[in-house]
Amino acid sequence: MDLVIRNASLPDGRRSIDIAIEGGRIAAVGPALPVQGAQEIDAAGDLVTPPFVDAHFHMDATLSYGLPRVNASGTLLEGIALWGELKPQLTQDALVERALQYCDWAVARGLLAIRSHVDICDPRLLAVEALLDVKRQVAPYLDLQLVAFPQDGILRSPGAFDNLKRAIAMGVDVVGGIPHFERTMADGAESVRLLCEFACERGLMVDMHCDESDDPLSRHIETLAFHSQRLGMQGRVTGSHLTSMHSMDNYYVSKLLPLIREAGVAAIANPLINITLQARHDTYPKRRGMTRVPEMLAAGIPVAFGHDCVMDPWYSLGSGDMLEVAHMGLHVAQMTGQQAMHECFLAVTETPARILGLDGYGIAPGCHADLLILDCGSTVEALRLRAARRLVLRRGKIVSESPRAGARLQLPGRPETVNFRLAR
Ligand SMILES: [Zn+2]
């Protein structure tokens, strides 16, 4: 074997497990494997997990914070206007450089697969060319999947549908949309129909920004589920954000959840962004704005958490840390039970891997040897500590290392060090 990781704890709760790796893939998983590795790593009971996956991001805008100015109101709509001011000033070199820098951060955080939306409303398709270039450059260490995203509306923005078709022809993977930003509810519904039919014809996946609004009557998710069902696209369609569901009438939601489930539509909440952008028009009480995550999970709908934004016109913080994202999702959704917290970990690992259709993801023989060793003993402890990524492996090779967390104390009669872990 090229490499054997000894004494790992796994996300499913198994302990004292060895993982044997050969040729960049996992060859065997089990207790006390009777094999020798050219290299051996003692995980010492630490959690070994497949990498983090971000199902919703905007890599064309990332790390542009303050260009050309900051978002004063903090709203989604000022963010979109600000992005509109920045677009004419973008250069391909600057886009590529910022995206590559973000991918460095992502790798250091154990985030090895990202679905990024890319704005196609600029007819030059500068950002599309830049991110396709980035996708090729990072491919050895990070899977970048691109969504053709009509930020200004596929019907509202002149030429947007043609631009979207060109972007797909250039190699963009997924069809995006933004029905709540079209001029009318009717145009929003029409945009969903057009985009789903286009994706169905081409055999592509769909991931729309859908109902990113506090308006309880923004019901484009119903239309998205309808067309997914009608066109037989189960398992290939995702609704991102779905924040209006937070504010919807409960009776209506009791009808809507089974429709989404039947249509095989997945959901992506973006906790950091939803909790900061939504309900900006509220006084008190102030809504949280994130979609109904535990209710969707209970209805059998796959739900992932996305990062959405890092230092861009919509959000001034972030560093590519999906544990921070899941930690916020857990709090906003009040998912505090043991199983619920574990599900928050799955929402930044296994679930988005399925939504993206990643091949060879997981800890089982035959899977890619893409693995993290985290400075913690369980998925819940990973969330509590936002655990350090001791080692990040891609195809069985170490691509990033971080020290364990801890501090040296100088207190009379107390231990010399702390690491914030409870020995049990
Ligand atoms: Zn987004």
pLDDT of residue 279: 95
User: Residue 341 above 60 pLDDT?
Assistant: yes
Q: What is the dihedral of CA 132, 134, 138, 143, to 10 degrees?
A: -50
Question: Taking 90 as the threshold, does the pLDDT of residue 329 lie above it?
Answer: yes
Looking at this protein, which amino acid is placed at residue 327? H
Q: What is the pLDDT of residues 4-26, one digit of tens each?
A: 999 999 999 999 999 999 999 99
pLDDT of residue 424: 55
Q: What's the pLDDT score for residue 166?
A: 98
d(CA 369, CA 395): 5
Band of pLDDT at residue 403, cut at 50, 70 and 90: very high
Active-site hit among 182, 212, 324, 350: 212
Q: Are 208 and 195 in contact (CB under 8 A)?
A: yes
pLDDT, mean of residues 349-372: 98
Calculate how far, in angstroms, residue 116's C-alpha sits from the geometric centre of ligand 1. Answer: 8
Tell how far the Cα of 316 is from the centroid of ligand 1, in angstroms.
15
SS (H, E, C) the chain: CCEEEEEEECCCCCCCEEEEEECCEEEEEECCCCCCCCEEEECCCCEEECCEEEEEECCCCCCCCCCCCCCCCCCHHHHHHHHHHHHHHCCHHHHHHHHHHHHHHHHHCCEEEEEEEEECCCCCCHHHHHHHHHHHHHCCCCEEEEEEECCCCCCCCCCHHHHHHHHHHHCCCEECCCHHHCCCHHHHHHHHHHHHHHHHHHCCEEEEEECCCCCCCCCHHHHHHHHHHHCCCCCCEEEEECCHHHHCCHHHHHHHHHHHHHCCEEEEECHHHHHHHCCCCCCCCCCCCCCCHHHHHHCCCCEEECCECCCECCECCCCCCHHHHHHHHHHHCCCCCHHHHHHHHHCCCHHHHHHHCCCCCCCCCCCECCEEEECCCCHHHHHHHCCCEEEEEECCEEEEECCCCCEECCCCCCCCEECCCCCC
- d(CA 30, CA 81) in angstroms, rounded, equals 54
Distance (angstroms) between ligand 1 centre and the Cα of 230 equals 26
**Is 212 annotated in the active site?**
yes
Confidence of residue 38 (pLDDT cuts 50, 70, 90): very high
Amino acid 56: pLDDT: 98
Share of the chain above pLDDT 90, in %: 96
Question: Does residue 423 register a pLDDT over 90?
Answer: no
- Give the residue-averaged pLDDT of 33-55: 97
Q: Work out the pLDDT band at 379, boundaries 50, 70, 90.
A: very high
pLDDT, the chain, mean: 97
CA of 209 to the centre of ligand 1 (A): 6
Over residues 363-391, the mean pLDDT reads 98
CA of 207 to the centre of ligand 1 (A): 10
Residues 333-353: what's their mean pLDDT? 98
pLDDT in tens, 301-310: 999 999 999 9
From ligand 1's centre to the CA of 252, what distance in Å? 25
* Cα–Cα distance measured from residue 220 to residue 218, given in angstroms and rounded to the nearest whole number: 6
CA 61 and chain centroid, separation: 15
The pLDDT confidence band at residue 76, using thresholds 50, 70 and 90, is: confident
pLDDT at residue 414 tops 70: yes
Mean local confidence (pLDDT), 282-309: 97
Instruction: State the amino acid at position 353 in one-letter form.
Output: A
Model pLDDT for residues 221-255, shown as the tens digit of each residue: 999 999 999 999 999 999 999 999 999 999 999 99
